[in-house]
């Protein structure tokens, strides 16, 4: 419509504009209200904003998965892996690890071992509720062990091999698929498939801090289920309904951790060659680079969380504090947790967590391997300050006297440069772990060539 001079255009009745309607905003339910509804056996589907669902109502209302046969609402409420979309959606506002696992479903008549399915097709819902995000299909199924299986495997939880803030670790033996690496060769085919008796580590949450332990449980399961790497500790399965609390079952790494191994080196009990130290650093760098590609941050990388196989192959463990960072974010603000000596100063002062925080911890770890000193020792702290302030007269002074004569100057200078940039107080100057892998690989190749 073109107005003429001095006139105002008027719309006819059939040209009247559609009135503007404000989109209704439904209040997002709190976590407490969601848990109350789940505990009462009422699905909280109507409490959530509409979202399209392939198998839900045609009007696009949010659907909540029905409980599996033999599982009551109380079990769904109690079991951390069965919290489902409701709780993880509510928790996502606090930047929690929002990748819930599909809960195990097994009918009472089924004789097959229950498991968390990690391979789904469009028309296959066995082993998972519809609507739950599926983990990567390349990973093997995650088993769910029963309390009786764990009692038999650990001899009634008799042999404790470690204890930490989240609980105890027990050694056990159980039958696992033969395709998985095992410490013993006893095999059986009584269950219809090739099975092998393996040594496992059973981690039992202590239950003293329920909220913290369940958060750690979900974080560790989600992180280890998202990455399949030879230098990352393999999670064999979980157990939910046990008297001890949530349980994680890992492969057993019998070589101890790097922290204890370096202590034995300082005491003169064992020798840790320069070549093997670089190989350990390279394996850990590859593991951290792998989890960073999945937008994960370990947040507690340290020498005591790096286990060693008998051939000194490193295995990164303890993902209980792992967090996710979205693709479009460079960092997240969160509560400061970690281990003294390895905590990123920027993260400690601002509460802002980034993958560069893992880079800092790795730089501390690399310097620990090079010097042989504990990060909390006065000698290490003095050495670190000299590196940061660039007052160290000769970079070769950082090297452990126990490996004197085993290294060449050029590889040491490259490793020292990696340490200096990794532990600097500027995120932009810290290299990503992919660069660390490339540089350490070149150092290792040069060492192999010179041998």
**Residues 413, 288 share a domain:** yes
Cα angle value 377/380/383 (rounded, 5°): 150
Identify the CA nearest to 246 among candidates 276, 281, 217, 289.
Answer: 217
**DSSP states of 405-431:** TS--HHHHHHHHHHHHHHTSS-GGGSP
Q: Do 310 and 342 reside in the same domain of the chain? A: yes
* pLDDT for the residue 437: 97
160 and 225 part of one domain: yes
Higher pLDDT, 159 or 40: 159
CB of 439 within 8 A of CB of 421? no
pLDDT confidence of residue 221: 80
The reported pLDDT for the residue numbered 139 is 45
Q: Are residues 246 and 328 located together in one domain of the fold?
A: no
CA atoms within 13 A on the CB side of 317: 25
Q: What does DSSP say about strands 332-333 and 323-324: parallel, antiparallel, or unpaired?
A: unpaired
Q: What is the pLDDT of residues 180-209, one digit of tens each?
A: 555 444 444 444 567 788 899 998 877 665
HEC string for 353-371: ECHHHHHHHHHHHHHHHHH
| Best-predicted range by mean pLDDT (50-54, 238-242, 263-267, 345-349) | 263-267
Tell me the range of 36-50, 78-92, 181-195 where mean pLDDT is highest: 181-195
CATH of the domain at 235: 3.30.200.20
pLDDT at 227 over 60: yes
Nearest Cα to Cα of residue 130 among 218, 65, 185, 83: 65
What local confidence, expressed as pLDDT, does residue 258 receive? 97
β-strand pairing of 142-144 with 235-239: parallel
Q: What percentage of the chain carries pLDDT values higher than 90?
A: 31
In a domain, 91, yes or no: no
Pick 75 or 6 by higher pLDDT.
Answer: 6
- 3-class SS of residue 237: strand
Q: Give the number of other Cβ atoms within 10 Å of residue 98's Cβ.
A: 18
Contact indicator for 93, 34 with CB cutoff of 8 Å: no
Nearest C-alpha neighbor of 243 from the set 174, 154, 317, 331: 154
pLDDT digit string, tens, across residues 11-38:
455 554 545 445 444 454 555 555 455 5
CA separation for the pair 318, 259 (Å, rounded): 14
Residues 6+ apart with CB under 8 A from 383: 367, 371, 373, 392, 398
Residue 300 among the catalytic residues? yes
- 313 with 427, same domain: the answer is yes
pLDDT at 291: 93
Residues 173 and 262 in one domain: no
Name the DSSP class of 418: H
Q: Which two tokens stand for residue 90?
A: 């509510």
Q: Which one of the listed residues 213, 300, 318, 400 is annotated catalytic? A: 300
Do 215 and 288 share a domain, yes or no? no
CATH for 439:
1.10.510.10
Tell me the whole-structure pTM to 2 decimals.
0.65
- CA dist., res. 448 & res. 274, Å (int): 11
Range of the domain at 206: 142-251
pLDDT tier, 115 (very low <50, low <70, confident <90, very high otherwise) = very low
């Amino acid at each position: 419509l073109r107005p003429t001079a001095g006139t105002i255009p008027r719309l006819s009745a059939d040209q009247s504009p559609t009135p503007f309607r404000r989109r209704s905003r439904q209040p997002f339910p709190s976590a407490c209200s969601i848990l109350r509804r789940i505990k009462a056996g009422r699905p909280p589907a109507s409490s959530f904003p509409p979202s399209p669902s392939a198998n839900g109502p045609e009007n696009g209302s949010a659907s909540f998965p029905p409980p599996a046969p033999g599982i009551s609402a109380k079990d769904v409420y109690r079991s951390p892996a069965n919290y489902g979309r409701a709780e993880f959606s509510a928790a996502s506002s606090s930047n929690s690890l929002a990748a819930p696992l599909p809960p195990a479903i097994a009918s009472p008549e089924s004789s097959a071992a229950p498991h968390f399915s990690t391979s789904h097709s469009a028309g296959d819902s066995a082993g998972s509720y519809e609507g739950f995000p599926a983990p990567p299909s390349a990973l093997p199924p995650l088993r769910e062990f029963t309390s009786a299986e764990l009692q038999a495997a650990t001899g009634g939880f008799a042999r404790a091999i470690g204890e930490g803030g989240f609980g105890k670790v027990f050694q056990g033996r159980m039958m696992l698929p033969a395709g998985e690496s095992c410490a013993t060769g006893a095999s059986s085919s009584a269950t219809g498939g090739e099975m092998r008796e393996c040594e496992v580590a059973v981690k039992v949450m202590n239950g003293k801090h329920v909220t913290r332990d369940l958060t750690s449980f979900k974080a560790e399961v989600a992180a280890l289920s998202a990455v399949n790497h030879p230098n990352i500790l393999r999670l064999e399965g979980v157990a939910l309904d046990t008297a001890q609390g949530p349980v994680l079952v890992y492969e057993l790494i019998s070589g101890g951790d790097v922290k204890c191994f370096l202590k034995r080196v300082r005491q003169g009990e064992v020798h840790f060659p320069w070549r093997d130290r670089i190989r350990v650093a390279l394996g850990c760098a590859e593991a951290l680079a792998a989890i960073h590609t999945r937008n994960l941050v370990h947040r507690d990388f340290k020498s005591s969380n790096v286990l060693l196989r008998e051939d000194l192959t490193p295995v990164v463990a303890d993902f209980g504090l792992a967090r996710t960072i979205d693709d479009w974010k460079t960092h997240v603000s969160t509560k400061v947790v970690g281990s003294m000596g390895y905590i990123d100063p920027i993260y400690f002062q601002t509460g802002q967590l980034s993958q560069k925080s893992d880079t800092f911890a790795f730089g501390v770890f690399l310097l620990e391997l090079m010097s042989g000193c504990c990060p909390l020792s006065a000698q290490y702290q003095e050495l670190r300050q000299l590196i940061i302030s660039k007052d160290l007269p000769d970079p070769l002074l950082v090297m452990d006297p126990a490996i004197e004569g085993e290294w060449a100057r050029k590889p040491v200078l490259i490793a020292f440069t990696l340490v200096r940039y990794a532990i600097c107080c500027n995120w932009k100057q810290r290299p990503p772990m992919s660069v660390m892998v490339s540089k350490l690989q070149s150092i290792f190749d040069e060492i192999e060539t010179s041998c």
